Chain A
Amino acid sequence: MIDQSYNYIADHINQLQPSGIRRFFDLASKMENVISLGVGEPDFVTPWNVIEASYHSLEQGYTAYTANAGLLELRQELSRFLEKQYHVAYRPEDQLLITVGASQAIDLAFRAILNPGDEVLVIEPSFVSYVPAIKLAGGEPVIVEATEQHAFKVQPEDIERAITGKTKAILICSPNNPTGAALNKEELAAIGQIAQRHDLIVVSDEIYADLLYDEPFTSFAAIPNMQERTILISGFSKAFAMTGWRLGYAAAPKAIIEAMTKIHQYTIMCAPTMAQYGALEALRNGQDSVIEMKTSYRQRRNYVVRTLQDIGFPCHLPGGAFYVFPSIKGTGLTSEQFAERLLDEQKVAVVPGHVFGKSGEGYVRCSYATSMQQLTEAMKRIRRFMEQFN
C-alpha cells in the first residue's frame, strides 16, 4: 500500500534519491559473522583524554548553549592548530565556525553561496552527501570524473571543460572518500589557477588531512592567493576518531563565515557544548594519539593494497584516508553484483563504487579501518571468492 502521506512531501525531496549505502547497510546487518569493510569511520574509540575532558565539562555544569560560532576558546585553539599544522591563518573571532560535523559545514557552505541554478563542480567518485547538499541548496551539481587512469586524481583540463557561465564553485576533497586519492601541492595549485581565472569559490573538504601517509599535507587555503576564495571544511570525526560527537568546522573569509553563521544561528544555534569541550582537549593534547592511529592505518593500507594486488585486483596505493578502491572489472560483474555476491557467498561487506557516482562503477570501496585480525580473515575470504573467476 502506498502511504498517502507521500503526497505531503515536497517534490524536490521526493526526487532526491536515498543513498545507495543504506541498501547495503540493510543487507549486511541482517546477516551474521559478516566482516565489514564497509565502515567509513575509524575503528578506534575516541582517545580517553578527550572523553575525560568532555566528562569533566559536564561534571562542572557546562551544559548551556555556547556562542553561535562555538566556544571562543575552541576557536582560538583551532586557529593556532590550523596555523601550526597547515600554515593557514584564520581569525578566531570572525573566520571560524564550529559546526555539527563537517556534514553541516558542507550544507551551510552551499546554502550560503548558491543562488538558484548556480553550478558547482563535483569531482567524482565522491562522498555521498555532496550532490544532495548542493541540490538542497538550490544549486546544480556538475560532475567531473577522476579516473583510475590518473590514480583518481582530477585533471585540470577536465575541470576547465566543465566550467560554464553559471559555475560558482568547485568542491574538492583530498584525501578522498572513497578513493583515498590525495592531491599534492602542484596539483592543488593547478586547480587554484583555474579558480582564479574564472573567479570561482573552492570548497575544500579536508576532513582526512591528518590521515595522509607518504607526504606532508597541503591545505588548499595554503596555496598562494587561494585563502580569499576558499571555504575550508574539516572536523574531528576522522583524525581524532570522534564521528559520534558530531563536531566539525568551517574556515573562510569573514563575509562567508558571517553568512554561514547566520544560517547556523537560526537552524542549529550552536554545536553540542560537551563535544566542543572534548574537541578543545583533542586540539591541545591529541596529536600523539593521531600519530599513533595514523601509523596503524598506514600499515593496514599497505597490507590491504598489497594483498588485493596479490589476489589479482588492479588497485592503486591511495595516499590517504582509510579506503582502497580496487577495480573489480575483471570479474565481469557490476560493482553492485560483486558486492552482493561477496556478501552473500563469503560474508564480507564492501561498498559498491557506483554509490559514490557513476564513475565509481567497476570499483568497490574497502575500508581498512578494522583490526588486522579482521582484515587478514577478510582477505582470505575475498581470495576464496575470487577463485571462481579464474
Chain B
Amino acid sequence: MEQKEIELLQILEKNGRLSTETIAKMMELTAEEVELMMKKLEEECTILGYSTLVNWAKVLKDERVTAMIEVKVTPTRGAGFDHVAERIYRFPEVKALYLMSGAYDLSITIEGQTMMEISRFVSDKLSTLDSVVSTVTHFVLKKYKHDGIVFDKRDDQDKRMMVTP
C-alpha cells in the first residue's frame, strides 16, 4: 500500500472527524486527492466505517452491560471455524468476535441491556449451536481504556503552562 494511504489511515484512525480540507493540508495533498483516496479505501473495505467511541457509563439512563465470552467449538469439516463464527457474529448484540490461539477458540464481546439478557443469549442462542462445546462468560465491571483511548478525562488535561520559551 502506498505510504500516503497508510498516513491517511493513521490520521483517520486517531480522529475520524477532521475535515477533508484539514487532512489535505496535514498531508500536503489537495482535498480532491484525499477524497479519492478515501473512496478507494472504502471501496476495497480497508476503511469499514467512521464510528465514535462513547463512554456509555456516563449516560445515566443507560445501564448496558458488556461481557466477554470464551467459547470452545468443534470446527466443521471444510469450513473450519468460519462457519460457526458466522453463525455467532450475525447476532447484532455480538460487538466483536475473534478466533484465538490458546485454551479456547472464539472470543466474543457482547453487549446487552441487562445481565439477564446476556445470560439468555448464552443459554438460548450460543450453547445450542451444534459446534459449541463449552462457554465461559466474564462480565465487564469497568472500562478503563478502549481502542487506545483512556476513559479518565484527567488524562487529557493540558498540564503545561500557558506560555513557555
Interface of A with B (CB < 8 Å)?
A: 19, 21, 24-25, 28-29, 34, 36, 38-41, 43, 45, 127-129, 177, 243, 295, 299-300, 302-303, 306-307, 349, 351, 370, 372-373, 376
Interface string of B1-35 (1 = CB under 8 A from A): 00000010011000100100010011110000000
Q: Is the CB of B22 within 8 A of A372?
A: yes
Q: Is the CB of B25 within 8 A of A39?
A: no
- CA gap between A128 and B164 in the complex, in Å: 10
Given contacts A299-B11, A372-B15, A372-B18, contact A349 B27 (CB under 8 A): no
CB of B116 closer than 8 Å to a CB of A: no
CB distance from B148 to the nearest CB of A (A): 12
- Chain A hits for B60, CB < 8 A: none
Q: Is the CB of A302 within 8 A of B161?
A: no
Interface of B with A (CB < 8 Å)?
A: 7, 10-11, 15, 18, 22, 25-28, 158-165
Q: Is the CB of A299 within 8 A of B27?
A: yes
Q: Is the CB of B160 within 8 A of A41?
A: yes
Q: Is the CB of A19 within 8 A of B15?
A: no
Q: Is the CB of B165 within 8 A of A21?
A: yes
Give A369's nearest chain B residue, CB to CB: B160
- Chain A hits for B7, CB < 8 A: 295, 299
Given contacts A43-B158, A372-B15, contact A24 B163 (CB under 8 A): yes
List 15 additional A-B contacts (Cβ < 8 Å) besides A21-B165, A24-B163, A43-B158.
Answer: A19-B165, A21-B164, A29-B161, A36-B162, A38-B162, A38-B164, A39-B162, A40-B165, A295-B10, A299-B11, A302-B26, A306-B25, A370-B158, A372-B26, A373-B15
Cβ 8 A contact of B165, one of A34, A129, A295, A307: A129
- CA gap between A306 and B22 in the complex, in Å: 10
- CA gap between A129 and B165 in the complex, in Å: 9
- Chain B hits for A45, CB < 8 A: 159
Q: Is the CB of A28 within 8 A of B28?
A: no
Q: Is the CB of A351 within 8 A of B22?
A: no
- Chain B hits for A295, CB < 8 A: 7, 10
- Chain A hits for B27, CB < 8 A: 299, 302
Q: Is the CB of A41 within 8 A of B164?
A: yes
- CA gap between A127 and B164 in the complex, in Å: 11
CB distance from A135 to the nearest CB of B (A): 17
CB distance from A337 to the nearest CB of B (A): 17
Q: Is the CB of A299 within 8 A of B162?
A: no
Q: Is the CB of A40 within 8 A of B15?
A: no
CB distance from A347 to the nearest CB of B (A): 11
